[in-house]
Chain A
């Protein structure tokens, strides 16, 4: 995790997140439990993108696809009367992994701008698929009968329980991510980013490594999708809209790509900003757009990158 400052920031941030439900209960503001749960769900999505974008250098402009696949896995099973969360979430992970493998297998053969366009195009394909399948709500989406059920274990209908589950998943992925990027596998991925020909010359078959990383990121984001559809209790192809991919990517950049904590900070700042701005004006995107451009032009290393110890390359 690099410098002490960063560890302190991470610790404080997690404490803050853990303290949201009690604080919301004290101030009688249940809305904030909802908002921060949403923040954490998108933090998971952003974290998963950062694994391939920040560490692997794969500029995927289609990460919302896996959010959608995870959500559809839960929603479709729910629609057919299977409410068991274990089954639903397993399917969410399996399906998003397979979709990521399929998209990755084609896209990773290319690089640079092709890669950006292809990932975007495939996500758009899934979006149109979602729109055209009337059985599952088509364009309008459909309401879920209930949240995923884990009988005898927990009740997601309880906002606080759901909140801590999401926090737990986020922590787990943070740990997995930490182990992953510091493992041999992560080193190879990072080598592929910093100098692909050299990494190839050492003798690594980068295609397989990249594809594996792509699939892992897809699986993680699939979990975020399963959580998101439980959060909204509404399944819609909008989860896969291309602007969503752009937003997730922006969260990564805003927080600081190539770090594990950055995407979480980015998701929090982005969604809180959205909340504040949209309360202020319906045309909040006219502020967000230029803000995004300014961040890209002047704060490329992201908020987390502005902290001391940023020179550390070990995330």
Chain B
């Protein structure tokens, strides 16, 4: 029984991990190439979740809603890049942090005006709400399994795009030397917009997949954003491989910590002490992990060298 529980929580950890990865990939690419710290990345996640919820209600077709929401987030991302972020690439990190903090306030409030502050819960179509048999006796929700599959597929696709296509070559070149790429005649502005749009779409994908699992509400993006920061710090900024490894580690540690820390503490602490310390420790676990990684490898596990 406990083995099944561990397996189930492990899958949950993986599911959370791939979601973190979708966010981290965009954030780390944008940082690696444009040298932009984008706090508003979480807002795009939120936009994706809201658009998907809205389109599901409007059209009633899940897949169509997903496609529309992805396109919508991509569009929002491109508009944000063109209007606000372009001017920030050459600024220092402090300016970027503050300006994108302003964007967060704006987006959260805009969403609150349009949809209200209360959490929305989006429903799943019947074909996604069942369970599948993972192992004999172990059942796992179809939807979460799908999230894992989509996340892994996107990771594979991203790897192919970055390492095997011309666009990916430009991305890698842009990450290692922007000025040189521009000097060789590449339209670097267009490349920036494309990369940012892609990153936005990935964040939107994470957001729309998060919708049916977590609550959809203003501010949902920042909660995950800060965890994504932990992922990136652990994995190494600008590195997609680092983002993947970091995401899975953080997803696992966080999920397993929340599930098993309390019962583990209860074996040698009094039940009431375990009740207090368990959740507190579990919520701090990933940050302590980050501190530990930094103590040994200040540049993260996979410092960015050619993504």
Give the B-binding residues of A (Cβ under 8 A): 53, 59, 61, 106, 109-110, 112-114, 116-118, 120-122, 124-125, 128-129, 131-135, 242-243, 246, 249-250, 253, 283-286, 288-293, 296-297, 300
Give the A-binding residues of B (Cβ under 8 A): 31, 37, 84, 87, 91, 93-95, 97-99, 101-110, 112-113, 222, 226, 229-230, 232-233, 237, 276, 279-280, 283-284, 287-288, 290-291, 294-295, 298
Cβ-defined partner of A290 (8 Å) among B97, B102, B222, B276: B102
Known: A121-B233, A125-B283. 8 other contacts (CB 8 A): A109-B298, A110-B298, A113-B93, A284-B109, A289-B102, A293-B99, A297-B87, A300-B95
State in angstroms the CA–CA spacing of A128 and B215 once bound together.
Answer: 18
A110-B294, A288-B105, A289-B106 known; A296 vs B287 contact (CB < 8 Å): no
State in angstroms the CA–CA spacing of A109 and B98 once bound together.
Answer: 23
A113, B37: Cβ atoms closer than 8 Å = yes
Minimum distance in angstroms from B112 CB to a CB of chain A:
7
Cβ-defined partner of B98 (8 Å) among A106, A117, A133, A250: A250
Nearest first, the 4 A-B pairs at minimum CB distance are A289-B106, A292-B102, A289-B105, A125-B287
A283, B109: Cβ atoms closer than 8 Å = yes
User: Inside 8 A of A250's CB, which chain B residues have their CB?
Assistant: 98, 101
State in angstroms the CA–CA spacing of A296 and B279 once bound together.
Answer: 39
User: Inside 8 A of A116's CB, which chain B residues have their CB?
Assistant: 37, 93, 97
Would you give 24 A-B contacts (Cβ < 8 Å), ordered by A? A61-B97, A110-B294, A113-B31, A113-B37, A114-B237, A122-B287, A125-B288, A128-B280, A128-B283, A129-B284, A133-B276, A134-B276, A243-B222, A283-B109, A284-B109, A285-B109, A286-B110, A288-B102, A288-B105, A289-B105, A293-B106, A296-B95, A297-B87, A297-B99
User: Inside 8 A of B101's CB, which chain A residues have their CB?
Assistant: 246, 249-250, 292
Determine the residue in chain B with the shortest Cβ distance to A117.
Answer: B229
A253, B98: Cβ atoms closer than 8 Å = yes
Minimum distance in angstroms from B257 CB to a CB of chain A:
12
B283, A131: Cβ atoms closer than 8 Å = yes
Minimum distance in angstroms from B33 CB to a CB of chain A:
14
State in angstroms the CA–CA spacing of A59 and B94 once bound together.
Answer: 7
Most buried by B among A116, A125, A243, A290: A125
Determine the residue in chain B with the shortest Cβ distance to A115.
Answer: B93
B98, A121: Cβ atoms closer than 8 Å = no
User: Inside 8 A of B283's CB, which chain A residues have their CB?
Assistant: 125, 128-129, 131-132
- The secondary-structure label for the interface of chain B is helix
State in angstroms the CA–CA spacing of A133 and B283 once bound together.
Answer: 11
Minimum distance in angstroms from B285 CB to a CB of chain A:
9
A125-B284, A253-B98 known; A292 vs B93 contact (CB < 8 Å): no
State in angstroms the CA–CA spacing of A293 and B279 once bound together.
Answer: 37
Minimum distance in angstroms from B214 CB to a CB of chain A:
16
Cβ-defined partner of B276 (8 Å) among A135, A291, A293: A135
State in angstroms the CA–CA spacing of A155 and B294 once bound together.
Answer: 46
Determine the residue in chain B with the shortest Cβ distance to A118.
Answer: B233
B229, A120: Cβ atoms closer than 8 Å = yes
State in angstroms the CA–CA spacing of A246 and B237 once bound together.
Answer: 22
User: Inside 8 A of B94's CB, which chain A residues have their CB?
Assistant: 53, 59, 253
A114-B298, A285-B105, A288-B105 known; A132 vs B280 contact (CB < 8 Å): yes
User: Inside 8 A of A284's CB, which chain B residues have their CB?
Assistant: 109
State in angstroms the CA–CA spacing of A133 and B273 once bound together.
Answer: 11
B37, A296: Cβ atoms closer than 8 Å = no
Minimum distance in angstroms from B123 CB to a CB of chain A:
27
Determine the residue in chain A with the shortest Cβ distance to B219.
Answer: A243
B294, A106: Cβ atoms closer than 8 Å = yes
A129, B280: Cβ atoms closer than 8 Å = yes
User: Inside 8 A of B290's CB, which chain A residues have their CB?
Assistant: 118, 121
Cβ-defined partner of A106 (8 Å) among B95, B102, B107, B291: B291
State in angstroms the CA–CA spacing of A116 and B101 once bound together.
Answer: 13
User: Inside 8 A of A289's CB, which chain B residues have their CB?
Assistant: 102-107, 109
User: Inside 8 A of B298's CB, which chain A residues have their CB?
Assistant: 109-110, 114
User: Inside 8 A of A242's CB, which chain B residues have their CB?
Assistant: 222, 226
State in angstroms the CA–CA spacing of A297 and B96 once bound together.
Answer: 10
Cβ-defined partner of A296 (8 Å) among B98, B112, B232: B98
A118-B294, A286-B109, A297-B99 known; A133 vs B232 contact (CB < 8 Å): no
Cβ-defined partner of B232 (8 Å) among A53, A117, A122, A291: A117
Cβ-defined partner of B106 (8 Å) among A129, A285, A296: A285
User: Inside 8 A of A300's CB, which chain B residues have their CB?
Assistant: 95
User: Inside 8 A of A134's CB, which chain B residues have their CB?
Assistant: 276
B109, A246: Cβ atoms closer than 8 Å = no
User: Inside 8 A of A288's CB, which chain B residues have their CB?
Assistant: 102, 105
Most buried by B among A112, A250, A297: A297
Determine the residue in chain B with the shortest Cβ distance to A250.
Answer: B98
A285, B108: Cβ atoms closer than 8 Å = yes
User: Inside 8 A of B288's CB, which chain A residues have their CB?
Assistant: 125
User: Inside 8 A of A120's CB, which chain B residues have their CB?
Assistant: 226, 229
Minimum distance in angstroms from B114 CB to a CB of chain A:
11
State in angstroms the CA–CA spacing of A288 and B106 once bound together.
Answer: 8
State in angstroms the CA–CA spacing of A110 and B298 once bound together.
Answer: 6
